[in-house]
Amino acid sequence: MGKLSGKTAIVTGASRGIGQAIAALFAAQGAQVVCAARTLSEGGHMLEGSLERTVAQIEDAGGAAVAMVADISDPAQCLALVEQTRAAYGPVDILVNNAALNYYVPTVDYKINRWVKAFAINVHAPFILAQAVLGDMTGGRGGAIVNIGSGAAIGPGRGPYEDQQVRGGVMYGATKAAVERFTQGLAQEVSQHGNIAISCVSPSRVVPTPGTIYHKLVTGMDDPRGEKPIMMARAALLLASEPAQSVNGRVTYSQQILKEYGWIEDAVGRGVDTAGTGYSQI
């Protein structure tokens, strides 16, 4: 019996990177996983990865998953995703808000339509999806919502600024800060139920993915400075499977929460970032 046997989970941004790793691990732990993203087939995006590949890997390993194409910047498609999940697998037990968008452009040059779309995916969609699935979790069923954050939520603080290099991360950091505040506010609202956990976890280091490689945040999938995607997958699994009262409202980092619960040995083959904090830009 896996930790998620009999559970139905939605994972957004499941075509590559952290989302792909989370979907695969959740399925390996017994969940029926709805893998959601915009890229159905290889070649449909400039980055490597697709829903078809994620689902094939899960099914090859004996798990249950289905691909659902959704542009979650559109509220109607968010709601349709939840309804299609119920039609496929029944009520939703777990939601992982992983999908995110950033263009790494200085604020003065940021196109308004891109700024608005990034907020739609990074902030508005987690709210819309959470609101839509909470009806399945209340009334005694329980459940978990895991939001994927970033160390970018922590700003540079008050000046003067010795480092004046422009990296174009203002929008992304602002959205991830919003996600952290949304997480704890929603956690307080659902605490009356006692069996619903709302949490947020960020990588302790940059996770090598097709996206972080493209943005030159890491040199490649084997960059020794990076944190393997399995770390985030294990942390998300912990937050989705531990008793709600012990993790509700947690805003944490992957290695921090894994070490706290004694899961770190199974998740990483190298030293632990004992500070429990770090940085991630995507």
pLDDT of residue 140: 87
Q: What is the pLDDT of residue 276?
A: 33
Task: Dump pLDDT digits (tens) for 146-182.
Answer: 999 999 899 888 888 888 777 778 999 999 999 999 9
In tens, the pLDDT along 240-274 reads 999 999 999 999 999 999 999 999 754 444 333 33
Can you give the pTM of this predicted structure? 0.89
Residue with tokens 């993915």: 209
**Which pLDDT score, from 0 to 100, does residue 268 have?**
45
Q: What is the pLDDT of residue 214?
A: 66
Q: Which residue in 252, 260, 239 sits closest to 278, CA to CA? A: 252
Alpha carbon distance 142, 133 (integer Å): 11
Active-site residue list: 172
What per-residue confidence (pLDDT) applies to 159?
86
Burial track 171-181 (b if 16+ CB lie within 10 A, e otherwise): bbbbbbbbbbe
Q: Pairing between strand 8-12 and 143-148?
A: unpaired
Closest CA to 98 of 48, 151, 39, 23: 23
Half-sphere exposure of 4 (CA within 13 A, CB side): 31
Non-local CB neighbours of 158 within 8 Å, separated by 6+ positions: none
Angle between helices 75-89 and 125-137 (to 10 degrees): 30
Q: What is the pLDDT of residue 46?
A: 64
Task: Give DSSP secondary structure letters for 52-83.
Answer: HHHHHHHHHTT-EEEEEE--TTSHHHHHHHHH
209 phi/psi in degrees, rounded to 5 = -140, 170
d(CA 88, CA 104): 37
> Measured between alpha carbons, how far is 241 from 182 in angstroms, rounded to an integer?
21
CATH topology classification for 8-267: Rossmann fold (3.40.50)
One digit per residue, pLDDT tens: the chain, 282 residues?
A: 799 999 999 999 999 889 999 999 999 999 999 999 998 887 767 677 799 999 999 999 999 999 999 999 999 999 999 999 999 999 999 999 999 998 888 999 999 999 999 999 999 999 999 999 999 999 889 999 999 999 989 988 888 888 877 777 899 999 999 999 999 999 999 999 999 999 999 998 878 777 766 667 778 878 888 888 899 999 999 999 999 999 999 999 999 999 999 997 544 443 333 333 333 322
User: What is the predicted pLDDT for the residue at 68?
Assistant: 98
